[in-house]
Structure 1
Amino acid sequence: MTVRPSHTLIAHRAVPALPSEGTIGVIAPAGPGALDTEKALQWMRARGYGLKVFPGVYEKDGYLAGSDDVRLRDLHAAFADPEVDAIICLRGGYGTPRLLDRINYDLLSRHAKPFVGYSDITALHLAISRYAGFVTFHGPLLNADLLGDKEPPTVTSFFAMLRGQLKSGSVLSHPAAYPLSTVEPGIAHGRLLGGNLAMIAATLGTPYEIDVEGAVLFIEDINEPLYRIDRLLTQMRLAGKLARLRGVLVGDIAGVEVDALNRLLKQTFEPLRIPVLSGWRSGHCDPNLTLPLGALVRLDAGKQELLLEQDVVIR
């Protein structure tokens, strides 16, 4: 298998590291959720951080956390706020695609900082990658993960990534209690991109679709039976989004039997002769490990390792 070097790719910009005693802003760009503010404040204070809650977190508009105007305002305000050192999303659900064509990407780029979330937040990761060009983080949501008392690697991974404890050359830790599967061996260098598979597919054909040229694709999902995962992967293949990949990292596909999933992955990716590693604990799972989207990585599916090839935050 030919290994193409990473120097042919331009790295996304690293963002400022989360400083000690910094402030983490929380926004709700997707669905609504009841935030126990006092619990959240105590959780952050116990770890040395402040919390700034933006107004839309307390709003509800049907299946949305406030109107599009409210959610967009909070997104812009959180990035522009000099007191906010990192941004975490309250929850996923639905709603972020409605904002994509209204976001001021120049503003986000000028005030780049760690931005964290998953599930529906994938649409924001994809759009920021394409139009602002800085690293974002597929990682825990405030309600479901940090306040949900998930296994310790969830919090350890989150802070290690945002504080800059993981440098270029670091191998990302994966808990031994959760075995990985080498679907296709090999080594790939590329920019790690992706997130929720259904959301990736939903953006195809729009100006915010994933840029797969030279990418290591990361996918995860929930509430999608095997045949729907097949349909989503087939949609990506027919859209020409698989042929240019360098490798694939598969996160948690909740509710799908592992052997059946790996058979489907082999059928899909074996003809492409690229490395595929499955079972990474990121997504709708416990623990939920943080991944740097847009960052250059080295995926060794045979050794079952994911290594950073750039610093993702800077001090």
Structure 2
Amino acid sequence: MREAVRAGQAGGAPAADPTQQGALWRGLRRVLRHRGAMVGGTIVLALVLVALLAPVLSPYDPYKNDLARIARPPGPGHLLGTDELGRDMLTRLMYGARLSLLVGVTSVGLALVAGTAVGAVSGYLGGWLDLLTMRVIDIMLAFPSTLLAIAITAILGPSLTNAVVAVAIVNVPIYARLVRSSVLSIRELEYVEAARAAGMPTARVIWRHVLPGALAPLIVQSTMSIGSAILEVAGLSFLGLGAAPPAAEWGAMLSRAREFLQTAPWVVTFPGMAIMLAVLGFNLLGDGLRDLLDPRLRHRG
């Protein structure tokens, strides 16, 4: 065995590390065996593909009105029917997936960056800065997230962009506390103290030695938060504080279809089911990643 490895190295080809290959195979096997992760990943992948291929999958224009086909029930030509302005429901749902996924990922990305920075600096430096930061975080967490998002959007002005910013601000405390708790347990470890003793700048210590230890919980929280962000932005759009007509956004579609709840229930049912499916997919995927990334739960593999 040793001679084979030496021969491979002598020939210029790097020898494969069987330990790393075994770890990758075990990780892949755990993913394939975890039903929740597989179901959630399949739903999310399907939504992403539908969003990307919406122009190819549908022959209809999601914004073109057809007054001759107002509120037609599902049937041939319009598998999910038409809405209150004669637009194809399936087409608008597919384009709505593109918009909803975009706002979900954007709001979570903004919250992740801001919350990680706040939590890392607060937890690593400690002292009065940590005390002040955590009190502000506690005040923000004292308000219901939806109510706080409505207040922020009302201050900034009704628009989809401001709704995304509001949802991001509301979620910053979650990431800040999560990163801070990880930093507090990592900053006293020997390799971090060795980096400080070597004179490494504080920012570099946090980036290279502290934050990697908080990566697993951040991945899980971010995945689950995308579904919640989609739901929150849809709620703001439903209240008239998010996407404005004629945007094909699921919450806005629900808001405009309220008057047709009894006469054309499919106009309300399908956007609601799309929101439910997206939230379910990201929640299942996040639960699966949590079970797979938490060392205490790896008995499944």
TM-score category by the smaller chain?
A: under 0.3
- Greater fraction strand: 1
| TM-score of the two chains, using structure 1 as the length reference | 0.27
**Quick check: which has more Rg, 1 or 2?**
2
- Greater fraction helix: 2
| TM-score of the two chains, using structure 2 as the length reference | 0.28
